Structure 1
């Protein structure tokens, strides 16, 4: 059982994350990929994803076992990193002392491969391999389904905010589902181990997660920024492959449509090329067209180009996502 203790001040500092957290979705999906439960929701996705991820799984699965402890440094963002690049950079910047401590704790409950020792030392080459594995996993396992992931997470967020407006913070906490019970001033959550989290005025971020299953989860270190990651409802048949390019693809062309979707959360040219498996010059050419149409804006810093959808671009994405 997880028991989260609130003060009166904490009740005014509960907020719902603005969208899916990229690293939580990776961590939760890697764990879900190794499990057998939730067949109705995730079975088709598992069968689709497993043959696509041999290299990424070898590096990520040992760090994210299907049950029990997994290191907190793998999910540093808690909804506050606006882009995947920033989230991965935060992960790769973890202090070596923390890497050693968390990997040593993981080793007490799971058998780690030999390269984990160099990761614990903060070896630059091993950290780079981990970063590459995260990028590859995101591109192959999540990007093809990202529209649905984002849409279902945003739908859950809308339900939470409606609970908050109709009944205040207590209604928000009570509405988290059968695995969460609000017994003022404590929120009790079904959990595989006994854990006590005292908020002490820091508030709590509620993070809806598409791949969180079957019960809510949180960070093991109570000194870190408090977050409760919780499951959501899924659109039936969400993992079915797309038939055709979709309305935005027919309007802009499939590659430009995927690039515009990627800029919804922000991406660099390198990230976009990796996600779509096209060349950097091809990405730059398509981005030029999107920028000339007023759908994206580009910021150049330290020799890198970072692309973000404009209000017009976000409106176009929103129209596609909410199309019946």
Structure 2
């Protein structure tokens, strides 16, 4: 377990990242290939991704280059997920190239000591080897992560909306209290459930604050830098719902789709975590004007409520909408298992 110790200054300087971290998404997606835990949550992604990796000729690079450097274990090198990556893939890859050779060597040595490093890993201290490695990372990202960017961004924005409600209700402490189940706020300490093989440790923020980065591809394994001297960051998992399908092949939204239509069913699902009109548009694959019309129809039916903040509106479920959504999900899972609702 990691115990992060806050002061009042740290609470004031804690923030939630505004976008996905592409380099951490690479790391977390590589971990999905190394375990069956949570496979149900990524079943569709897993099937299509393995096929795409074969078609693009990246399977060898996956096995011999990437998986050995990103073990799903107590440690992988910090320089592979630089803080600058929250500003985009290009910034993150530039940060990897700019890593001092001494730091690369030191972190590869830690990897070797803890889980074993590939024999060639020390070459990454050289700039040319790192340039080639960055090319592999970019190719992998384009095949594995980029095709899902819209879905990932929509989920991140929904998570931000949910955390903002906690912030409004209870300040930063209210936001931290809603991060579970793998992160537990026990004032003034945030307890982070680490993989079993990791040792317990304490991290004192000492006025630096904390950056929280939700990750679509992470599965119940929050991650922080091993080096306490680096800027404090915690990447944590979104709460996934199963990609269940009934025995007839229908999706979880099918009962809703039969009544509301596909776009409005997706809009209702999006509103369950709080969503702007733009987020609904991206989730449903429709224009902003069409999303606005669907939101209006759902609001007129008493299924969602809308709050305006300047040019932006936030749509959330009413109790009726929440009951309808829960009933539809129960029906879908009952179809899958053959039980009676």
> Structure 1 length normalisation: TM-score?
0.71
**What SS does the aligned partner of 2:83 have?**
coil
- Cα–Cα, structure 1 residues 43 and 319, in superposed 2: closer, same or farther, change >3 Å? closer
Once residues 86 and 122 of structure 2 are traced to their aligned partners in structure 1, the CA distance between those partners, rounded to angstroms, is: 29
- Cα–Cα, structure 1 residues 72 and 65, in superposed 2: closer, same or farther, change >3 Å? same
1:38 corresponds to: 38
Does structure 1 residue 177 correspond to structure 2 residue 180? yes
**What SS does the aligned partner of 2:104 have?**
helix
2:91 corresponds to: 86
Does structure 1 residue 222 correspond to structure 2 residue 225? no
2:151 corresponds to: 148
Match runs of 1:18-33 below 5 Å? 18-33=18-33
> Which structure is richer in relative contact order (CA contacts within 8 A, separation 6 or more)?
1
Instruction: Please say which of residues 229-238 and 163-172 is displaced more in the overlay.
Output: 229-238
Match runs of 1:1-324 below 5 Å? 1-51=1-51, 52=53, 53-57=58-62, 58-77=64-83, 80-81=86-87, 83-119=88-124, 122-192=125-195, 193=198, 194-234=200-240, 236-237=242-243, 319-321=281-283, 323=286
Q: Is the 8 A contact 1:115 1:126 kept in 2?
A: no
Give the CA deviation at 1:107.
0.3
Deviations 1:54-110 (CA, angstroms, capped at 9, x unpaired)? 1441311111002220110001126642x3111101111100110011000000122
Alignment root-mean-square deviation, CA: 2.1
| Structure 1: gaps (5+ residues) | 239-314
Give the CA deviation at 1:176.
0.6
Q: Is the 8 A contact 2:19 2:153 kept in 1?
A: yes
Give the CA deviation at 1:196.
1.1
| Structure 2: gaps (5+ residues) | 245-276, 292-341
Once residues 16 and 34 of structure 1 are traced to their aligned partners in structure 2, the CA distance between those partners, rounded to angstroms, is: 28
Q: Is the 8 A contact 2:83 2:231 kept in 1?
A: no
- Give the count of matched residue pairs: 245
Instruction: Please say which of residues 183-192 and 16-25 is displaced more in the overlay.
Output: 183-192
Q: Is the 8 A contact 1:202 1:225 kept in 2?
A: yes
Once residues 95 and 119 of structure 2 are traced to their aligned partners in structure 1, the CA distance between those partners, rounded to angstroms, is: 24
Q: Is the 8 A contact 1:191 1:216 kept in 2?
A: yes
Deviations 1:221-263 (CA, angstroms, capped at 9, x unpaired)? 111110111100236549xxxxxxxxxxxxxxxxxxxxxxxxx
Give the CA deviation at 1:316.
8.1
Instruction: Please say which of residues 199-208 and 43-52 is displaced more in the overlay.
Output: 43-52
Give the CA deviation at 1:154.
1.2
Any runs of at least 4 consecutive aligned residues in structure 1 with deviations exceeding 6 A, and if so which?
A: 315-318
Q: Is the 8 A contact 1:16 1:161 kept in 2?
A: no
Once residues 141 and 189 of structure 2 are traced to their aligned partners in structure 1, the CA distance between those partners, rounded to angstroms, is: 36
- Cα–Cα, structure 1 residues 4 and 97, in superposed 2: closer, same or farther, change >3 Å? same
Once residues 37 and 81 of structure 2 are traced to their aligned partners in structure 1, the CA distance between those partners, rounded to angstroms, is: 23
Once residues 317 and 182 of structure 1 are traced to their aligned partners in structure 2, the CA distance between those partners, rounded to angstroms, is: 29
**What SS does the aligned partner of 1:221 have?**
coil
Q: Is the 8 A contact 2:176 2:185 kept in 1?
A: yes
Q: Is the 8 A contact 2:7 2:207 kept in 1?
A: yes
Q: Is the 8 A contact 2:84 2:92 kept in 1?
A: no
Q: Is the 8 A contact 1:79 1:207 kept in 2?
A: no
